[in-house]
Every structure is written in structure tokens, then in C-alpha cells.
Amino acid sequence: MYKLFYIIFRPAFLILNALKLMRHLYIIRKFIFFIQLFIIVSALHAEDGHQLWLRFDKTKATFPCFSGINACDSRFAVKEFQYDWNEMTGNRLQVVNVLNNNTLVIGTLKDRNIVSFGVGNELKQLGMEGYIIKTIHQNNKNITVVASAGDKGLLYGVFHLLRIIQTNKFPQSLNISEKPSYAVRILNHWDNQDGSVERGYAGHSIFWRYGEKHPTVTDKDKVLWKEYARANASIGINGAVLNNVNASPDMLSGAYMQKVKAIAEVLRPYGMKVYLSINFSSPSALGGLKTSDPLDKDVVKWWNIKAKEIYQLIPDFGGFLVKANSEGLPGPQDFGRTHADGANMLADALKPYGGIVMWRAFVYNAGKDDRAKLAYKEFMPLDGQFRDNVIVQVKNGPIDFQPREPFSPLFGAMKRTALMPELQITQEYLGQGNHLVFLASMWKEFLESDTYCSGKGSTVAKITDGTLLKSRLTAIGGVANIGEDTNWCGHHFAQANWYSFGRLAWNNRLSSDDIAEEWIRMTFSNDSNFIKPVKEMMLESHEAVVNYMMPLGLHHLFAFGHHYGPEPWCDVPNTRPDWMPKYYHNAGEDGIGFDRSATGSNAVEQYISPLREQLNNIDSCPEKYLLWFHHVPWHKKMKDGHMLWDELCYTYNHGVKQVRQFQTIWDKAEQYVDSERFIHVQTRLKIQAHDAVWWKDACLLYFQQFSKRPIPYDVERPVYDLNDLKKTKLNMTEHN
């Protein structure tokens, strides 16, 4: 926004400065003054999306008529409430000692009034992050109470109260009690120390800067981190991994640790802990030891000393995230040790301080078997061997954040190990900064998948949040989509994915419909004429991207490296076969798809009965996963009567039409949106519509060479030529 402001108004300022030379002319001076005032006022009113969903100043809602507030004004949560209430109404609530009708009481168990309401036991059960928001009737008075056992819970409670006001849903009587689904609700930033963000589409890192050997902290940094922490607290996110899982050993060096300390200090009041990704070879690469073998006593000592140093700087440091023996990174297997040996050694170093280790299961040693089976094969034998402060972080699907994947079979299989889902908020494989894709729908599909590990109904949600498999540690992580862009996430609608991750991490039972509606109301408008169509668009957007990119279980058809556009033909010499689309689609004259049934790689065996049998059978396998689990003849009859080839054509075509419909919905919504955000989204929808056609033509024209069948005439004709598409090399600066 500021760049735009600069470009537009800079010439005006230059002219005005020239006019200033003629200062003696009173009229010109006045003229200059008013023009400058106008410029400043318009800049202040411009809508750049920086406020995210926390736009209390623009809340057009009916406010509850609180008569006063009974609360300790110095409490962080109370300050937050008063600040936002003032933004909404133009006044702070008056502090009162006597409870009158419509008094708002905000407090913890340390406050006498809260105890007197008899809610102590309930609050203790909800824990330090849980809270209640209730209307209590006392002496013929209605009193609204926000209370928690701890300060963190109180802040979450305050944000919940604000949310129901903002979304115009403040009821006659309140009876809310909440506690989080997961104890650790964490963003994984893939931010490099040079300021770049791996798979980031929203500018540079908010934490690290290019070329800083000795990282510095400015006041501007602190303001941004504070805004970031407040946004996270408003949706219940309580942790952040500050650097890329492809971690450099020097992250743990003194210079960087000072900056980590500074970040931790800003995040702490908002209930957020900082965590770091570590490089497993740090003892040798940074510490100068001969080895990084996790069973070597000097290595153990090195990590113990390192942990002590870290906790001296940051007493509430959260712990480590580790990518080991994955995509070329070092790990315990380099020394003949197991993932459990590596994770446990680090866990022991952190244990005295309450820290945890999040150990990633994203492993796929080349060439050994079907890639979809490898994580299971490596981790299942280790079930039950991890310390209780280790949690294994598993991507939602067995491959890598594809537009649609079945759940990873590790969920449900590793019953004696704490597992945390890893979701990708940044849209590496989903149109990156350009496509409007609401990810809550995809995550709900994953969380509600039935693993059958303790009979029917053993959903991923219930086994990871501790409902079915008891574990001392529960967590969920999301790869952040945040950068220095003024609107934080690049695409305005990508903010909804940050929001959704936090809301689902807090409460994995929320529906994507409810989350979308909350977000629309808070971010744009409470007008139902706007909410209804825009919500429908959001809820359909995941299915649409699957339709125009990779329907019916197809996966990894992406261009090599940047993962943006389609390249089902891609063949880079001397590269791992499982990085090539052909490995996954296996298109030939006999059909298309990866045979993972018992006659193929038998990946289905990793799932629990009766799901295993359902997936194994080509006729009972859900069609959305058909080509994931089966190699299917082009003429196979699908459920709707079409043959597979025609079905593929119709589905790609439908995806294109869906995006065109999104464009219409958005254009019709213009009257409800500020022009800046309207144009921004409209421009990106044009790119998305263009890309959808590109995907459809590239995939259908390429696969047609094998199916040797015509594209049905009621499918939109291709506008591209396959040979031209094959020559297209994307200029990523245009698309990122």
C-alpha cells in the first residue's frame, strides 16, 4: 500500500516542494497545506488489509449495552478489551466496583468476584487456556462474565467476546465454555536467515533480514511482531517456529539467539512461545565436534549445554522442530542410529526446562519403494520408543501437501506415540499467492477422515487431540503463509487460511462453514447480501482447485521446482524419479493412475480394515481417490455413467467454470467492498481463471495422447497447443 501511495503521490510532493519556493504567496501556502492534508487523510483511510480480521474500528454491529466494567485495569486482557471497545464505540468502559445491571466482569480465579460466582471448579477443569463467557443472573441483575483460571485463557476469552460482538452475534444470554483441542497450536515459519521464505508468497520474512551477520532489532520490527502476536492470540495460536525446517546450524549461534530472545519478549504477553528448527549436525558444524552422533557423550553434552544457554536467555522457550534424514538433511541415520535415538537425545536435553521436540516424519529415501509408503515404513517400527516430550509431526497426506491426498496412514497406526498433524497454510501446491482457495474445507476433510484405529469413528481429529488415544502431548502445526506484504499473506483471501488454521487448532469440531462466515463478517462485512455468495465461493474453492488441477486422485503433476503450473510431461534428467509427475500419473494407453492396491505397491495395506479393503477395491474406492490408489483403464465406467476419460474432461471443465463463477460472484460484491481490496482480489481471480484453463488444456491435451479419445464436445475447446505449453517456462517473478 505504501509503495502505491509513494508512486502516486511522490510527483505531487515534488511539485508542491517546488511551489514552496514561492512561499511568500499566502494563497499558495494554504493550497499546499490543504493538498498535503488531503493526501495524508486519504492514505490513512486507504484499505490495505493490514488489520486482518481485527478491524474493530470498522465494526458495524449492534453493541451490547455494558453499563461498566469490573476488572483489574492493569491486566493485559483487560487492556486489550478496553482498547478494542474504544475502537468500536469511541469510549472506554468505565471501571466500576459495584456490580450493576449489565456490568461486564473480566477476571481470573485471583479475583474475588469471579470466585463468588461459583465458577471455580469449571474454570479449573478448563485449564489455564480455557475460559467461560456467561450471563449470570444475580440480585435481579444480568452480569456478563468473562473468566479463566489463567491470564492466557482470559485473553482468549476476551477475543471470543469481541468476536461475537464484531460478527453481530451477541445473544440475549451467554453460556460459553471453551478449552483448546490441542495444547500446542503452532505456526511453522519456513523463514531463512537471509530474509527469504521457502514457499513464501507474501514477501520477505517478518523475522530475518537479508545480509545480517549480526541480526538487529528495530522499533519497527517490534511493532510488526506485536501485531503478529496479537493476531495469533485472537485465534488461539500459542507458538511459532521462527526459522525454516531446512535449518542452518548457525541459527543456534549467539548473534541469532539474541534476536530470538527479542522476538520471544514481544510474543510472550500474547501467550506465544518461540521454538526453533535445528540442524541435526549442529554439534559438528557449529560446535566443532568430530561427530553429531546422538549417542556420543560429547554430543549429548553439547546439546545439554546448548539447552541450558537457550533457557537462560528465554525461560519459556518452547523447543525444537527437526527435519532429519529428509531431502538431504543430516540426521541420526548418518551414524547408524534411529529417529527415536535422535529425538530422545534432544528431548532429554530440553526436558528439565519443559521443552518439547517436534520430530518430522517427512522422510522418503529414494528408490526403496512407493514414496507414499516410506514414512510409515520408517516410523512404524519405532512406535512406543519416543520420550513423552517428543511428538512426531506428520504431514496430512503421505506425499506432500497435494491439492487432495488421503490421510497419512501413520495416523491411527502409531498408537503409542504422540502424533501432530502438519498442515500447509502457505499454498505451495494450491496456486500460491494467486489462487483463492479456502483451506478449512480441505483440513476438515482430513481431520474427519476415519482411521478405524479404535473402531468406526476414530477420526484423525479424535486420535490427535487425545480424545481416543491418550497422550501427554497434543499439538498441531501449520506452515505459515505470512510475510512482510502489507496484507501479511499476499492474497487477501489467504488471510482466511491463517485464521482457519488457528480456529481449527483451537476447536477441531468447528465447521468450515462457520469459520468462513466468522472470517467474512470480521474481515469484510456483516451484510448478508455479501456473506452468502462469498461464503459459497470460499466453501467451493477447494473442490474447484482440485477439479482444474488434479481431479479423481491425480497428484504431483506440477512443474519441477516451483510447483506452480502443470507439467505432466516433465522429465528432468538425472533427477529422483519420485520428483517427476510421470512417477505418479503413470499414463499409458492402458489407463492412468498409481496402482497402490494389493496388485500394485500395496500401500493400501498400511490402512486399517475395513478402510484397507474399501480402498483396495477399484469399485468401492471413493472416486476422489481413485487414481491415487488404482491404475484405471480409460474406458472404465464411473458412478455417473461416464467413462473415465470423459469424466476427467468434464471435471477439468467444471473446475474452469467454477472459477469463472467466482469472478462473477466477486464482481457482484463490488458494492460491499472497498475498492483497494476489491481490485486486488479481482485481479488475482483473473489470473486464477487463466491458470485454470492452462491446467485443463495442459493435462487433457497431454493425457489425450494416451487415451486417444476425443474431448467431449460439450467441454470447452482447448485454447492452447500442447507443444507451445511444453515450451512455456514460467517466469516466477510474474507469478509469485
Query: The C-alpha cell of 135 is what?
Result: 450471563
Q: Rounded CA gap, 644 and 646, in Å?
A: 6
Least gap, CB of 278 to ligand GCV (angstroms): 14
Cell 530422545 found at: 344
Cell 517436534 found at: 358
Least gap, CB of 481 to ligand GCV (angstroms): 14
Among candidates 484, 448, 442, 445, which has minimal Cα distance to 464? 448
Is 428 in the active site? yes
State phi, psi for 270 to the nearest 5 degrees: -90, 15
Least gap, CB of 545 to ligand GCV (angstroms): 18
Q: Rounded CA gap, 112 and 37, in Å?
A: 50
CB nearer to ligand GCV: pick between 85 and 364: 364
Query: The C-alpha cell of 200 is what?
Result: 513464501
245 binding ligand GCV? (CB under 6 A): yes
Interface size with ligand GCV, residues (CB under 6 A): 10
Q: Three-class SS string for 213-227? A: CCCCCCHHHHHHHHH
Among candidates 248, 61, 85, which has minimal Cα distance to 170? 61
280 binding ligand GCV? (CB under 6 A): no
CB nearer to ligand GCV: pick between 181 and 279: 279
The dihedral formed by the CA atoms of 500, 502, 506 and 509, expressed in degrees to the nearest 10: 10
Which amino acid is residue 522, in one-letter code? Answer: M
246 binding ligand GCV? (CB under 6 A): yes
362 binding ligand GCV? (CB under 6 A): yes
DSSP lists the bridge partners of residue 256 as: none
Mask for 363-402, x = binds ligand GCV (CB under 6 A):
-------------------------------------x--
201 binding ligand GCV? (CB under 6 A): no
Q: Rounded CA gap, 133 and 143, in Å?
A: 10
Least gap, CB of 728 to ligand GCV (angstroms): 21
Q: What would the DSSP string read from start to end of 504-568?
A: HHH-TTS-HHHHHHHHHHHHT---HHHHHHHHHHHHHHHHHHHHHHSGGG----BPTTT--SB-T
CA 214-218-224 angle, to 5 degrees, is 120
CB nearer to ligand GCV: pick between 168 and 196: 196
558 binding ligand GCV? (CB under 6 A): no
Catalytic member of 191, 370, 428, 517: 428
227 binding ligand GCV? (CB under 6 A): no
Q: Is the dihedral of CA 541, 547, 549, 553 positive or negative?
A: positive
190 binding ligand GCV? (CB under 6 A): yes
β-strands 175-178, 390-395 pairing = unpaired
Q: Rounded CA gap, 150 and 184, in Å?
A: 16
198 binding ligand GCV? (CB under 6 A): yes
Catalytic member of 73, 327, 589, 667: 327
Mask for 653-692, x = binds ligand GCV (CB under 6 A):
----------------------------------------
Which of 160, 189, 199, 556 binds ligand GCV (CB under 6 A)? It is: 199
Least gap, CB of 400 to ligand GCV (angstroms): 5
Is 151 in the active site? no
CB nearer to ligand GCV: pick between 103 and 244: 244
Which 316-335 residues touch ligand GCV, going by CB under 6 A? 323, 327
Is 422 in the active site? no
DSSP strands (E only) in 206-300: 239-241, 273-278
Least gap, CB of 325 to ligand GCV (angstroms): 12
Which 399-428 residues touch ligand GCV, going by CB under 6 A? 400, 428
**Contacts to ligand GCV by CB under 6 A:** 190, 198-199, 245-246, 323, 327, 362, 400, 428
Q: Mind telling me the catalytic residues? A: 327, 400, 428
